[in-house]
Copies of this chain bind each other. A is one copy, B any other.
Amino acid sequence: MNPDFSYVGFLGFDVFGTVVDWRSGVARAADPFLRKHHLAVDPLDFADEWRALYQPAMQKVRSGERPWVKLDVLNRGNLETVLSRHDADFGAITDAELVDLNKAWERLDPWPDSVEGLTRLKRRFAIGPLSNGHIAGMLNLARFGGLPWDVITGAEVTKSYKPMPQTYLKSADAVGLPPEHVCMMAAHNEDLAAARAAGLRTVFIRRPHEHGPNQTTDLEAKQDWDVVANSLIEAADALGCN
């Protein structure tokens, strides 16, 4: 095992894109909604458009322009923005439909290697989301997909959004460890760069199809992360978890 990990006690995971496939899951949930309401947009494009508003919405919180709110609140606002752009008839859409569609983010399939990889990693390390998702969303995703988390850290526990330093630092504090005894597991170079700057260990998981077949971002490690792996099973191998 990589000697840098001998003192690591907690692996904190990015979830959307790293552990679960948000794009196909959101498209699956959106498809019947879009048909019912006669919105002529491809469900995968709809998922991409919705997701594209995710970082700008969090940025308003990071900058202090608006107070911290849970991710489902941001997702709901973004959903209404995307629907407006497609000239949706809000008079024909019930609040219950929007609530249900917004829960698409809590019903996403894990990547095929995720459950086995997490199960193996959990034998040696405590594991949990270190995600921008809220606690209930992470809980529901875990029960939907069988993700065997020990604890949920990240945005809601720290009242901040990655890549703010406090999301990493307060998550480490919540699990009772100094930052250097925590490892960030993510498919996004920016997330790992911020985690490293905060003192955490880093594992890059390549997810070249998170954004579909034509993905251009995060195809490769942009720094010498402590471990680079093609799946959570490969990460478990690299960290000595059989």
Query: A residues bordering B, Cβ < 8 Å?
Result: 126, 134-140, 142-143, 149-153, 156-157, 174-177
Contacts and interface: CB of A to CB of B under 8 A. Distances in A.
A134 B177 CA distance: 13
A67 B74 CA distance: 31
Contacts of A174: 135-136, 156
A149 B175 CA distance: 15
Contact of A149 (B136, B140, B150, B156): B150
28 contacts: A126-B139, A126-B143, A134-B176, A135-B151, A135-B157, A135-B174, A135-B175, A135-B176, A136-B174, A136-B175, A136-B176, A136-B177, A137-B176, A138-B151, A139-B150, A139-B175, A139-B176, A140-B176, A142-B150, A142-B151, A143-B150, A149-B150, A149-B151, A151-B151, A151-B152, A152-B152, A156-B174, A157-B157
Contacts of A176: 134-137, 139-140
Between A126, A140, A150, the greatest number of chain B beta carbons within 10 A of the residue's beta carbon is seen for A150
Contacts of A126: 139, 143
Contacts of A138: 151
Nearest to A153: B135
Nearest to A175: B136
Contacts of A153: 135
A162 B204 CA distance: 40
A131 to B, nearest CB: 13
Contacts of A135: 151, 153, 157, 174-176
Nearest to A177: B136
